[in-house]
Amino acid sequence: MGSSVLDLPLEETIPLSPEALACPHDYNTRLRTEAPVYKCPHTGIVFVSDFETSRKVLRDHETFSNRFSVAMRPDEVDGKVHEVQKQGWPAVDTMLTQDPPEHRRYRGLVNQAFTARRVETLVPRMEQICHKLIDGFIQAGRCDFVDAFSVQLPVIVIGEQLGVPDEHFPLIRKWSEAAALQLSGQADTRQQVEIAHVILEFQNYFANKLDERRKDRRDDIISDVVHARLEGERPLDTAECLSILQQLMVAGNQTTTHAIGEGMLLLIQNPEQLAKVRRDPELVDDLVEEVLRLSTPTANMWRVATRDSKLSGVEVPAGTMLQVRYSSANRDDAQFDNGQAFDVTRDKINTQIAFGYGVHMCIGASLARKEMQVAFRVLLERFTGFALEVDPSELHYPPNVLLRGLAALPISFVART
């Protein structure tokens, strides 16, 4: 982040500026220090940045609601975008943008697909995928790690779970990236039109899949969703099914991709921590938790106040939009000693909130954790060393209101012989 932003009085800064979103950690530190609950005079949004208050907001869904879908849409929808959207199915509030009891009903329909027991059965397949991906680039001695590995593993895993044939896996990536750009709050009109076309393509593809599974049930998430019964009675309509599938696709791809990529970068930048894990492979699970804490791929999340309240002395009237800055809370020194440092043996590592907290904790957390655990075990098994191929200043994080991750990570490596 440029020093100009940090040098300005806090009330003259805008937390959602592209500069702050692309490199937020210094700015978040300032928020935690000066105003852990900060009401921005430019936007009226309340930004929550410390750990204790973040958890307070996240566990009180009655006061701080997840029905924030309006905040995820552009203030004005271009006519061309609207024309494309009319050709598809309307957005429906199901899991991410709902509250109990409706949220609980929708979530219950897909919980079974992400139980720890079911995820554990996927481990041999995850290992196979990791080895196959590595075999594809190991002879070259270098690669863009994001493109060659950290994108591919989650795309293949969630694609298979959704019952998508492997020749269509590139579409999963395309659709996920479009949905992430839609969430970014940074898309211009041209991009919004492109996004609308891509999401329409996603909807048409999976609407056909839903029709197929209604006639021919299989062992995949699409079948689970289409044959589920809400409140034991009615099936989900197509718009509801598409909403759930889109959320699972993005959550099962983008966030895990970002965390694996950032994890590799952290290991390269902290060789002493890599050495600790090599000496004690049992630390891989703690490595994953620490990567999640520091990378926090879902950097921020919205809430909306349902009634007048007060947070750390700041008045929060009903209707106020709040942004809980997970990535800031996860670096709060009050909760994590020397919170900016990467330490795979730190205390309270499992209290990190990269997956959220409370009733809206990410449904795919167990799947993401297992993918990361398998990925880093296999990477440490296949390689003895890694190095960054560019200056760290050249690494790029596309600005996004909610998500944060590397666009690319050029590395070299030494294969284990």
107-157 confidence digits (pLDDT tens): 887 777 788 888 999 999 999 999 999 999 999 999 999 999 999 999 999
Residues 29-53: b if buried by 16+ CB within 10 A, e if exposed: bbbbeebbbbbbeeeebbbbbbbeb
Q: What is the mean pLDDT of residues 94-115?
A: 82
Q: What is the residue type of 55?
A: R
Q: What confidence tens digit (pLDDT) does each residue in 284-337 have?
A: 999 999 999 999 999 999 999 999 999 999 999 999 999 999 999 999 999 999
pTM, two decimal places: 0.93
Q: What confidence tens digit (pLDDT) does each residue in 286-300 have?
A: 999 999 999 999 999
- Provide the pLDDT for residue 236: 86
Matching residue, tokens 């839609």:
182
Q: Phi then psi for 238, rounded to 5 degrees? A: -60, -40
Q: What is the mean pLDDT of the chain?
A: 91
pLDDT band at 1 (very low <50, low <70, confident <90, very high): very low
Cα distance between the two ends of the chain: 41
Q: Is the pLDDT of residue 73 over 70?
A: no
10 Å Cβ neighbour count for 232?
7
CATH of 1-65+306-353, one of 3.40.50.300, 3.30.43.20, 3.30.930.10, 1.10.1530.10: 3.30.43.20
Q: Is the pLDDT of residue 2 over 50?
A: no
- Provide the pLDDT for residue 21: 76
Q: Domain limits of the chain?
A: 1-65+306-353, 79-298+359-415
- Provide the pLDDT for residue 126: 97
10 Å Cβ neighbour count for 70?
11
Matching residue, tokens 């196959």:
132
Q: Are 197 and 84 in contact (CB under 8 A)?
A: yes
**Between 251 and 237, the higher pLDDT residue:** 237
10 Å Cβ neighbour count for 356?
18
- Provide the pLDDT for residue 302: 95
| Distance (Å) of CA 122 to CA 7, 168, 252 | 49, 20, 14
Distance separating alpha carbons of residues 302 and 309, to the nearest angstrom: 16
Matching residue, tokens 């937390």:
15
DSSP-based three-state secondary structure for 327 = helix
Q: What is the mean pLDDT of residues 93-98?
A: 86
Instruction: Tell me the HSE value of 183 on the side-chain side, using a 13 A CA sphere.
Output: 27
CATH of 79-298+359-415, one of 3.30.70.1340, 3.40.50.2000, 1.10.540.10, 1.10.630.10: 1.10.630.10
Q: What is the mean pLDDT of residues 31-44?
A: 96
Q: Is the pLDDT of residue 25 over 70?
A: yes
- Provide the pLDDT for residue 71: 60
- Provide the pLDDT for residue 332: 98
Omega before 101 cis (within 30°)? yes
Distance separating alpha carbons of residues 409 and 382, to the nearest angstrom: 18
Q: Phi then psi for 325, rounded to 5 degrees? A: -95, 85
Q: What is the mean pLDDT of residues 200-222?
A: 93
Tokens standing for residue 42 = 């430019």
Q: What confidence tens digit (pLDDT) does each residue in 361-397 have?
A: 988 899 999 999 999 999 999 999 999 999 999 999 9
Q: What is the mean pLDDT of residues 205-217?
A: 94
Q: What is the mean pLDDT of residues 78-104?
A: 87
